[in-house]
Structure formats: structure tokens, C-alpha cells
Amino acid sequence: MKNMEIAPVAARTVLRPTRGWVAIDFRELIRFKDLLFQLASRDVKLRYKQTLLGVAWVVLQPVLAAGLLTFAFGIVAGLKTEQTPYFLFSFAGLAAWNLFSWTLNKASLSMVGNAYLVSKVYFPRLILPLSGTISSLLDFGVSMGLMVVLMVVYGVHPGFALLVLPIWICLLLCMSLGIGFIAAALTVSYRDVQYILPILIPFMLYASPVAYPVSHLPARYQRVFFLVNPLAGLIEGFRWSLLHTTPPPLRYVAWSAALALTAFVLGAAVFRRAERKVADVI
């Protein structure tokens, strides 16, 4: 082997049994960033292998889904979404929703799905749910590209609200990863989670303001709606940033943000606590 270089003073690692709660080791995560991207690129490469339309699905999926909602709610039910065309309205809602649900779904399956890696190699286990997030962010990026095209076609000009778009994206990711971390940790011992989520996720889609605006709800229920479903504030905010729809009241945005950040921190802690036992249980 040529070019064999060994650092004269190699870093020393001390391993001891850990107890209780541990924080996220960001330095370790950065050290393994190449693995993070390799796993994400594996996911992306494999997803459309052996499909006829291949990558076209990345574009087709959100368009077809928004088309279906437009047919059911916009045309059949005749839902009015202020001055925004319904297709654009539901497309934006779905983009936010898909980012949430794909990330949650991938994160929850990441530990069990990669059991053969977990029991044979060391790496910070957080890499697994995070690599799934990268591939769902990629899909989200494609949706956003389509969104730009649609906005040009429909002649919708975004305002200054666009500047806070990254905030909604971050909060949606925090929320989905937080729940996903907990789901992944639970799935290691209890596979039930794998069966609950596919039922819960579509249910949550209709319980969130994706196909309809919160303003259509009777005024007295809006408050409860925002409080019970923290996603509501984030999806409404996301859509407001793009399409000038009615913005969610600030106090509910604060509530959603607080829950999203709590979910992320709590989820990461639960995950870190569970990862120690994973190789022994899986």
C-alpha cells in the first residue's frame, strides 16, 4: 500500500459504559459526514431502480397528488381558497406535508431497516435517520423547483414573506425528525410502530390544513385546531410565505415552534439512550 501515512500522535479514545442521558456528539457526526452522504445517495440511487419512468416519478408524484386533491376538493367540493388557484394552494400544502411525512417515515424505519449495519459496524447511529432526511430534502427540492414553475405560470409573485421560508422548513424538519427519532428507538424493541405509522400518517394528512385553509373552520374551533395540531401553524406559515395566503396567528406559530424544538431535543435524547442497546436487541 502506497501513501501510507499514519499520524505520529494518534487521537486517544477512551471507552467506558455510559449511563443516563447523553447529548448529541456533533464532532463525531461531522467526522462521519461522508457516510451520511453515501447512505443518502444509496437511497436515492436505489429508489427508482427497476421502474419504467425512473426519476420522472419525483416530478409526477407531487403533481398527481395535488391533482387528486384539486379534483376532490377544488372541483367536486368547490372549496374556495381566497384569490389563490386551488392547484397551487394544495401543491404548496403537499410540499410541506411531504417533507414532514417522508422524513418521519424514513427516520422511523432507519434503525430496523439497517439492522445488518448496526450489528456489524460502528458509526453514530443518528446518521441513519439523518441520511433519510437528506433524500427527502432532495425530493422536496424538486417540488420547490416545480413550485417556482407553477408560480410563474399562474403569475404569483412572492413577497418579503419568502425570506422566512427556511424557518418553516427547519421547524417542519425538527418536528418530523423528533417524532421519527422516538419512533425509530421504539421500533427496535416494539415493531408495532412500523404498523401504526402507515395508518397514522394519512390520517394526519387530512387532520392538517393541506387540502383546506384553517380559515374555513368555524372561528371558535380554530384556536383548538392550532393547539391540538402543531403542524397546522407550520403548514399555514409555509404556504403564506409562498402564496400570501392568510398567515397563522403569531401565538400559534410560537406554540408550534416550541413543540417542534422540544420534539427534536427530546427525540434525539431518547434515540441516543436507545442506540446503546440496539446492537444487542436487533
Residues that bind other proteins (CB under 8 A): 1-7, 10-18, 32, 34-35, 37-39, 42, 45-46, 49-50, 116-123, 186, 190-193, 276, 279-280
**Residue 120: how many other CB atoms lie within 10 Å:** 8
Is 99 or 188 the residue whose CB approaches other proteins more closely? 188
Is 66 or 188 the residue whose CB approaches other proteins more closely? 188
Give least dist CB 82 to other proteins, A.
43
Give least dist CB 206 to other proteins, A.
25
Q: Report residue 31 as a C-alpha cell.
A: 467526522
Residue 21's contacts (CB-CB under 8 Å, 6 or more residues apart) are 269, 272, 273
Is 117 or 164 the residue whose CB approaches other proteins more closely? 117
Q: CA-CA-CA-CA torsion for 253, 258, 260, 263, nearest 10 degrees?
A: -160
Residue 101's contacts (CB-CB under 8 Å, 6 or more residues apart) are 176, 201, 204, 205
Give least dist CB 10 to other proteins, A.
3
CA R_g for the chain: 21
Q: How far is Cα 97 from Cα 73, in angstroms, rounded to an integer? A: 17
Q: What is the DSSP string of 133-148?
A: HHHHHHHHHHHHHHHH
Is 7 or 52 the residue whose CB approaches other proteins more closely? 7
Residue 155 Ramachandran class (φ > 0 left, ψ -120 to 50 alpha, else beta)? left
- Give SS3 for 9: coil
Query: What does the chain come to in residues?
Result: 282
> 276: part of which helix (H) or strand (E)?
helix 250-281
Give least dist CB 48 to other proteins, A.
11
Is 117 or 204 the residue whose CB approaches other proteins more closely? 117
3-state SS of 166-190 is: HHHHHHHHHHHHHHHHHHHHHHHHC
Give least dist CB 271 to other proteins, A.
15
Give least dist CB 26 to other proteins, A.
17
Residue type, 198: P
Give least dist CB 176 to other proteins, A.
21
Give least dist CB 32 to other proteins, A.
8
Is 232 or 278 the residue whose CB approaches other proteins more closely? 278
Is 48 or 225 the residue whose CB approaches other proteins more closely? 48
Is 82 or 192 the residue whose CB approaches other proteins more closely? 192
